[in-house]
Structure 1
Amino acid sequence: MGIEIEQKFEVPVDSISSISESLRLDPSLGDFTVTYARKVTNFDTYFDVNGQIASRDWSLRVREKSAGLFSVALKRPRPGVGGGSAVHREELENPTDGSLVEVLTAVAAALRGENIISAPPAPVETLIHRGGVVAALRQLGLVSDYPVKTTRDIWMVGDASGDVAELVVDETEYLDSTEGSVREGRIEIEISDSANAAKLDEMARCIDRRFNTRQVYTSKFQQALIHYASRHLRDKLEAKVTLGDISSYEALVAQINASGEFVRGYQFHRSADRRIFDTYFDTKKHELFKLGWYLRMRREGETRQLTFRRLKERGEQRYGLVMQQEIIVRPSSDIDEAWAAIQNWLSAVRGASRAAPPADFSELPTALAASSLRNSLEVEVTRTSWIVDRADVRSSDLRNRIAKVKYDRVAFRRPGQTAPLSHFEFEVTGVEDEAAAPNTLRRDSYQAFLGDFLEVCADRTNGGRVDKRTSAKYFHGLTELGIVSRKPEWLTDGRLEVQILARESAPQAVQSRNWGLMRFWCALATLTAGLFALSVGQGEGLLSDSSPDIVSAAMQTLGFLALVLGSFFLFKDPPGPVSRARRLVIVVCTVMAAVAISIPSMGRGNAADATAFLGLLPLIVSLSRTGMRG
């Protein structure tokens, strides 16, 4: 059983080819010399079961070496005997430690000894012969959710005594067929003899000086778990954190990287850096912005995604949060259904027009142009992010993740211009499974972490200004670039400043129906019923001295309730936000209707006329804002 002693360094994935070329042109590495050996491509699949292997810092890997040939490797941490910053791991792998059957039998015994798996349903050799090594592992109850492809340049490092280490330059791709793959660059140096630990440290220093690397301690399996969590958890809660001093951002990032427990009680796991290009679409007069909506086309590598998002009621609060609804369209989405959902929302926007659905995802820009939407802002984001979980919960289960912390370096540009406006921010998002509703989110855990994170940021910046706000890059970019001259009330009156933003999918009913038209007919029907009921009622008002007829009183009361329901249908779920002034109009109309029904001198006929006009007023106000189309 071999012992793996290595040091690992993260490098920008785009610099992989230049690093290899640099080593070819200049093979010296301090007192050492590197000699190119070969290039290999490995296809690895990592296995786990409910996070139990990851929680022990183990990894179980199947590597496809060539068609039909596989190796199985179980790696477990081992106390180091030299090279304090090196990672020491015990490695059980075929063919070094025996045949495939022998090694897999030993692996199964080790896992069963830790109660990770139960007894195999048949001898391991039988399981392998039935379906192969991958099928055998699945028969043992293991899950293979983490495929990884690594293209590796291998170099031998030697000195006067001969070869002392192996240096590899890796371009690793964490494969994900649904969310898009993530690429990452690394340099790893490995020795097999602990007597060379001092030489390993010296080689590491030379690598760091020459290529400006960042030392990391996570395995590819651990990185696969982080990327899997990063891609398969949806941001459901959101707060943006800004610092008063720009230089404080890099200082805090360095401290987070230096200590995985930047906030006491929480572990930060760094994900691969990302480069994101966003294009926002709006009408000529930026009507989406005025409503608190945005439509964004995102490009990241080969991945494309269209997102429509709206602040509900310009900051409506539910569950103590500011809510926003979203529709996400990917190349794999049902394009007709997604386009119809977005068009139903856009039909309420002045300046936007209906357009036929695109033939496929690549035709979306053309369809947006046909909808009278144009490029209104370009944003480039360089993102460093960390997955955060509790330090006392050692499990890779997605349910144990609490938050993502993102450090964004943002460049805003007017369409067609090159001069950017720079902006920096931390974004702290609460994460959940995609299908989770806001009322099931772990808000208390997220808010506790957010409070601790803000406190640590203030402390580490010597009491510098740390602000928490809720907004969107689109809103910030439009206002800071001066593309819009006037900020809407909902962005400046403070309703977003002290709240946390929560995301949910737009309701299917809203996506699939024209609510404006439905609201019109429902309101008209209830108002008509109310007027009829009032007309049938006889005698004076309900507060008159004479005893009212029971049937008359019942019909009058029914008329009033019908009028209230009519207003309720009109304003329950409008496609656009309702201002405070218009809400006041609704309340006043309802109160006046109640008074009109009750005044003795009015009589039934006059009351019916008065409530007819009062009841139609909210309908007229609603239709003047949204029209018959919704």
Structure 2
Amino acid sequence: MAIEIEQKFEVSIGLISSISESLRNDPTLGNFTLSYARKVTNFDTYFDVSGQIASREWSLRVREKSAGAFSVALKRPRSGVGGSAAIHREELENPADGSLAEVLTTIVDILKDENIISAPSVAIETLIHRGGIAAALRELGLINAYPVKTTRDIWVVADANGDIAELVVDETEYLDASEGSVREGRIEVEISDAVNANKLTEVSRCLGRRFNIREVHTSKFQQALVHHASRHLRDKLEAKVTLGDVSDYETLLAQIDASSEFVRGYQFHRSADRRIFDTYFDTKKHELFRRGWYLRLRREGESKQLTFRRLKERGEQRYGLVMQQEIVVQPSSDMNEAWSAIQNWLAPVRGASRSTPPADFSRLEASLAASGLHNSLEVDVTRTSWIVDRADVRSSDLRNRIAKVKYDRVAFRRPSQTTALSHFEFEVTGVEDEDAAPNTLRRDSYQAFLGDFLEVCVDKTNGGQVDKRTSAKYFHGLTELGIVKKKPEWLTDGRLELQILARESAPEAVQSRNWGLMRFWSALATLTAGLFALSAGQGDGLLTGGSTSIISITMQTLGFFALVLGSFFLFKDPPGPVSRARRLVIIVCTVMAAVVITIPFMGRGNAADATAFLGLLPLVISLSRNGMRG
């Protein structure tokens, strides 16, 4: 069983090629020389069960090498030698430590002794023969959730006494990230003999000076866990709307309460007022703030909630909206899992460190302090809010809910101080379920309402200033109180400003609803007409084969497209949710049309063709006027 001794460096993915080229052109590092060995591509899959391997900082990996060979490896950390900064890991891997079956048997015994897995019912060799190494691990109860692909350039490092280390430049692709694959670059230097630890340190120092790269201590498995943690993040639709004059808020508040249809086409339902006390935690140098992140402990009555939120680095720019993602921890949540997810995100933050998860919320602040996170801002919020539904839908189905509008009276305070800074704002948020997946968010409907709400705000305040952006109370409070002197670039370069500016001439709400109804019925007409057009022929219906003339074939083809378009626009985020009655109308009309066109001499000729084309016309006009909004 070998001891792996290595140092790792983070490299910008865009610099991988230039670094490799530089090493080829000048294969020296101080007193050391490099000789290029080979390029390999490895496909690694990391296994775990309920986080038990990760919590021990172990890793269990199955590797498929370029030549098609498989290996299994278990790595466990060991203490460094002589104060060395290098990472020391005990590595059990085939073929160095035996055959595949022998090594896996040893690994299974180790995992069994740690109560990570149960004893297998059959021999390990039998499990491997049944379906291979990966299938054998799955049968043992392990889960392969973290696939990683690495393309590696390998150099041998030598000095006057011979070879001392292996240097690799890795381009790694984490295939299980929440937004598709994530690519990262790394340089790793590894020695197999602790006697050369000082030489490893010198090689690493030369690398750092030459390429200005930063040392890291996380393994690829740990990085895979960080990217996998994105699955715990819920996309958050939220926009801040602030007005130029404080009196404008009270004006709008009174008008919303006076008319439930403050924005025409939508019903506002007022919720109970709330009093919220928020405490934000950050490092001493406010590293979370600089990244566009925050960690908030919310108290409301007897309830508590911990939220980690970040602006997405590759922000969702659809309609100019920068998306946010969040992890929400309730007292009923699995604290170990949620704490691990948050800690994985905080791993690269300077000044933050890992700590054991708190037993419950009463010990949360102590655990945060142990992680290097301290009270940075206190916020007192008095909130009035409304749920917004579509006005033309009477169902209480949650799918008809479009947004939540919140009017917040905010007081910002430095920690343990009584002097407060007042702030007022509207928040317009999506009404996603607590466990909603990002792809279930009704972004188009939300954006349509947000645009209309902004227009009404401008109109009701007589053209007053209306600012709209993606932000957070934490960012505003830190900067306005002067706690943070220098604003980061992302807060000042305009990327957070919403680009859905109020339209110059807002259409009447009735017209907007009419266009939506027009699209619905024109789509229904297109669907029906498409079925009729498919039977276009010279006296023959669909069952009798129809005509083989070019005109008839063209009509049938166009009819097919009309049929597809009609179906698509009826069910793809229509202007209003398709009620059961409307769905029944669609089904009935479709069935009737399908029956009619199978009868010879019915549903044919110019009448059917003209109906198909005329059905498309209002649909196209409707879409050109309002896009997918209706």
Q: TM-score w.r.t. structure 1 length? A: 0.46
Q: TM-score w.r.t. structure 2 length? A: 0.46
More contact order relative to length (CA 8 Å, sep ≥ 6): 1
